[in-house]
Amino acid sequence: MYLVIVVMLAYQYVHPVRRRSALPARFREEIMRTDRGDTPLTYSPAAPRDSARTVFLFVHGYGGNREHWHSLMTALHRRGHDSVAVAMPGQDASGIAAVGFGSTESEIIMQAAETVRNAYPPGIKLVVVGVSLGGASSWIAAGRRPELFDAVVTESAYANLDQTSRRYVALKLPSAAFVLEPIVVLGQRIAGITPSQWHPIDYAARYRGGPRVLIHCENDELVTRDVTDQLARAAAAEVYVAKQTAHARWIESDLPDYVKQLDRVAKRLTPPDSARGPQSPRSQTEASGTSLPPRVESTR
């Protein structure tokens, strides 16, 4: 009986309950065709706009959906920025059946980045913004195809899949983690992945494009500060601390500050006197002769 329960729960772990996104007024949905399955993209109002100089590509986390980003997308639209939210595998209205724990997700993020770039004139600045699993997958995508992304911003992104899986189990059932751990291990096998091949920290070290920012939620029990610091060192990224905020809850706790920080990243990419000519993130860094410091911490 125990084995039957483990198999059932492992299947559910890879196929979580889906919460499909509603489409707000003036937003637009587009279906991106992929070899693995159709993937919905949600565009902010009036996007794509030729006047936009920065586009944000939003990636939700495990158990989430594109709706997580709608309020942020609306606020950024008012500041002149376009944005696109992508449905992740095994969740929302994705045509892909199962969660991939970074493997399939990174492929979808890369294809979404190509789709978005093709919708805009050359020289557009593309910033990928991910939360939790979506953030971890964003680092993997950026490491695999760094030329696609001008900046990476993640919230509550973990550094190591094995480490985070064990932490997740310990938080769910502290006194009997050994009961849940086989479920996680079997779930990863059902997803067809080898966890050691999909650690975000390994891919983050390969990306040296434009601004790299890690948002650490101060009250995050899953992705603790030491984990954020590990990932920040690998990515040579800034760390911004969202005060009194739980895991992946910054939009809920302080939407205006989220908007402010993303607008700050956009301004770093497109200063008022900059030209819109195409230039890769890597060539920008080399041309300036500077790179971001290993860690610059800010708080609200």
Question: What was the pLDDT predicted at 281?
Answer: 41
Rg of the chain, C-alpha, whole Å: 18
For 92-125, letters b (16+ CB in 10 Å) and e give bbbebebbbbbbbbbbbbbbbbebbbebbeeebb
Stretch 56-77: mean pLDDT: 97
pLDDT of residue 295: 38
C-alpha distances in Å from residue 37, one per residue of 61, 88, 100, 107, 134: 19, 11, 13, 12, 18
Sole residue written with tokens 């936009």: 52
Express as a percent the part of the chain with pLDDT over 70. Answer: 88
pLDDT confidence tier of residue 173, bands split at 50, 70 and 90: low
> Are 186 and 6 spatial neighbours (Cβ–Cβ below 8 Å)?
yes
Average pLDDT over residues 127-131: 98
Give me the mean pLDDT over the 262-270 stretch: 95
Residue 273's pLDDT band (cuts 50, 70, 90): low
- Read off the pLDDT of residues 130-139 as tens digits, 9 standing for 90 and up: 999 999 999 9
Report for 15-24, 43-52, 105-114: range of highest mean pLDDT? 105-114
Kindly state the average pLDDT of the residues 53-65. 96
> Does the structure show a pLDDT above 80 at 15?
yes
Task: Report whether pLDDT(88) > 70.
Answer: yes
Q: What confidence tens digit (pLDDT) does each residue in 200-250 have?
A: 999 999 999 999 999 999 999 999 999 999 999 999 999 999 999 999 999
Going by the DSSP 8-state scheme, the letter that residue 277 receives in this structure is -
Q: pTM for the whole thing?
A: 0.88
Element holding 167 (H helix, E strand): helix 161-172
| pLDDT at residue number 113 | 98
